Amino acid sequence: MRLGLICSISSRLRLGRGWPVLWLLPFPRSLRRCGRSTLHSRRSLLGLSQEPTCSYKLARGYFMYQHLSAAASPAGRSRIAVLTLSRYTWPPLTGSHSQQHQMNASVDQYQGCILGLALGDAIGAPFEGGLIERSLWKLIGRVRDHSPRWTDDTQMSLDVANVLLRYREIDQDRLAEVFAGSYAWSRGYGPGTARQLKLIKSGVHWREARIRIFKDGSFGNGAAMRSAPVSLFFYNDFERLVAETKKAAEITHSHPLAIQGALAISIAVHFALQSRDCPEMWRLLQEHCASPVFLRKIGLARGWIDSKSEIARGAVAKVLGNGMTAQDSVVTAIYAATRFMGSSFGEMMGFIISLGGDVDTIGAMAGAIWGAANGSVTLENLPIEEKDRLKRVAIDLYRKRLAPCFI
Ligand SMILES: [Mg+2]
């Protein structure tokens, strides 16, 4: 019996809300697609997952596998699975996020986002910090093939992406472990984050570790710099995007300003993927980043963009900021990406480098937004460490992103 047959049987049933239906069915191991269903992860389907990992389109909407158990049959070619299907209604979208705007991002834009993030990070890294930091980066800032080396911004973004691809949500305990496992001083982690990750690596729980280092939570830009993959994965569900961005942030950056900074980058990437008008983006930025400092800077940046004024770099650095805190760098990155959205990546990075300060992180955040809007075509020829890996992660995020809502 093929799973496609089950699909056609199910679609003819009129299931009431909350009615569970128990199926007993064998299916071939190699089956990935059948009928109108898409099995996002064959491994999770066969692997006794308790998570609702597979979406299943029926005539009246979506159903999720909410429970699944499987056992190998003696023949070995097929398995017997017990599926419990029940009605699952996707959360409604908020605001004016109408459905037709949720479906038009391309895999090229996903690759552009991840490549832009890594390139902004790697190109900006040699210009960050004082004389000692710059001299050190001259020594370790290239990999074996002489491509620019990325820093903690890209490493932590890849960590977030890997956890999303594996667990389909931000599992905070797992993400804390992955962050700690990936830590390497040579990636240029901020001192506070480095101390937290060392504590986690030594066995201290992340909730305890963050309090030991920052009593009230860090408001550095370390959460914002890694939030783009969350936006990519939850592109089709804005409420989950907001919730999971907060979860990814608070492991190391639990101060409200850091979380607002992370949300701002997620929202900016979300709109860059849709190539939509800016007014809606600015409105949601103000709604989700409601602290006075963010509101003031978002308002200023919006005014500059709307008036098409070419604000001098000194004024941008002084007014919006170029520092390591979320409130002194996130709006700067969004402003730079928006201002240079129709220009080349190089022009945008030239402007960001001219601002000085935390160049690699502002470059990473702006690069992710710029790449999400413009795609990867013009970024392909730029050398970067582990380009193939970066592109593969972007493709996986595209293929395995949360399924859209059709209800
Ligand atoms: Mg960095």
Is the residue at 240 inside a domain? yes
192 in the same domain as 62 = no
- pLDDT band per the 50, 70, 90 thresholds, residue 25: very low
Residue 62 has which token pair?
């979506």
CA distance 360 to 216: 26
CA distance 245 to 241: 6
377 in the same domain as 354 = yes
232 in the same domain as 185 = yes
301 in the same domain as 168 = yes
Taking 90 as the threshold, does the pLDDT of residue 107 lie above it? Answer: yes
Bridge partners (DSSP) listed for residue 38: 33
Predicted model pTM:
0.76
CA distance 229 to 247: 13
Give residue 128 CA to ligand 1 midpoint distance, Å: 9
Bridge partners (DSSP) listed for residue 69: 82
Give residue 290 CA to ligand 1 midpoint distance, Å: 26
87: three-class secondary structure by DSSP? strand
* Domain CATH for 264: 1.10.4080.10
Give residue 77 CA to ligand 1 midpoint distance, Å: 48
Are 226 and 153 in contact by the 8 Å Cβ rule? The answer is: yes
Give residue 319 CA to ligand 1 midpoint distance, Å: 22
403: three-class secondary structure by DSSP? coil
Give residue 80 CA to ligand 1 midpoint distance, Å: 48
* More confident call, 72 vs 223: 223
- How many folded domains does the chain comprise? 2
138 in the same domain as 21 = no
Is the residue at 275 inside a domain? yes
Is the residue at 216 inside a domain? yes
Are 219 and 326 in contact by the 8 Å Cβ rule? The answer is: yes
- pLDDT band per the 50, 70, 90 thresholds, residue 39: very low
Taking 70 as the threshold, does the pLDDT of residue 65 lie above it? Answer: no
Give residue 370 CA to ligand 1 midpoint distance, Å: 18
116 in the same domain as 83 = no
Within 114-212, strands assigned E span: none
Give residue 187 CA to ligand 1 midpoint distance, Å: 7
Is the residue at 405 inside a domain? no
Give residue 232 CA to ligand 1 midpoint distance, Å: 21
218 in the same domain as 117 = yes
211 in the same domain as 233 = yes
Is the residue at 31 inside a domain? yes
145 in the same domain as 53 = no
67: three-class secondary structure by DSSP? strand
Are 336 and 348 in contact by the 8 Å Cβ rule? The answer is: yes
Boundary (domain end) residue, out of 32, 55, 87: 87
Nearest Cα residue to 185 out of 163, 159, 211, 152? 152
CA distance 8 to 368: 41
Boundary (domain end) residue, out of 61, 87, 113: 87
* More confident call, 7 vs 350: 350
113 in the same domain as 69 = no
Judged by average pLDDT, the poorest of 26-40, 186-200, 290-304, 350-364 is 26-40
51 in the same domain as 140 = no
Give residue 333 CA to ligand 1 midpoint distance, Å: 14
In this predicted structure, what is the pLDDT of residue 407?
A: 36
- Domain of 142, in residue numbers: 99-400
In this predicted structure, what is the pLDDT of residue 37?
A: 36
* More confident call, 273 vs 38: 273
Q: What ranges in 13-75 are assigned the alpha helix state H?
A: 42-46
Give residue 85 CA to ligand 1 midpoint distance, Å: 45
The conformational region for residue 203 under phi > 0 = left, psi -120 to 50 = alpha, else beta, is left
Please give the average per-residue pLDDT across 118-127, as a whole number.
Answer: 96
Bridge partners (DSSP) listed for residue 126: none
Give residue 364 CA to ligand 1 midpoint distance, Å: 8
Is the residue at 232 inside a domain? yes
Give residue 299 CA to ligand 1 midpoint distance, Å: 27
In this predicted structure, what is the pLDDT of residue 69?
A: 33
Taking 50 as the threshold, does the pLDDT of residue 330 lie above it? Answer: yes
Please give the average per-residue pLDDT across 212-227, as a whole number.
Answer: 95
- Virtual CA dihedral for 394, 395, 396, 402, nearest 10 degrees? 90
CA distance 110 to 345: 16
In this predicted structure, what is the pLDDT of residue 404?
A: 62
In this predicted structure, what is the pLDDT of residue 162?
A: 98
Give residue 359 CA to ligand 1 midpoint distance, Å: 8
**C-alpha distances in Å from residue 236, one per residue of 100, 113, 170, 240:** 11, 16, 16, 9
In this predicted structure, what is the pLDDT of residue 276?
A: 67
CA distance 81 to 348: 53
Give residue 377 CA to ligand 1 midpoint distance, Å: 25
Give residue 266 CA to ligand 1 midpoint distance, Å: 18
Is the residue at 92 inside a domain? no
Give residue 193 CA to ligand 1 midpoint distance, Å: 11
In this predicted structure, what is the pLDDT of residue 104?
A: 74
Is the residue at 263 inside a domain? yes
b/e for 68-102, b at 16 or more Cβ within 10 A?
A: bebeeeeeeebbebebebbbbebeebeeebeeeeb
* More confident call, 91 vs 222: 222
196 in the same domain as 306 = yes
Boundary (domain end) residue, out of 58, 87, 116: 87
Per residue in 126-165, pLDDT tens? 998 888 888 888 888 899 888 999 999 999 999 999 999 9
In this predicted structure, what is the pLDDT of residue 156?
A: 98
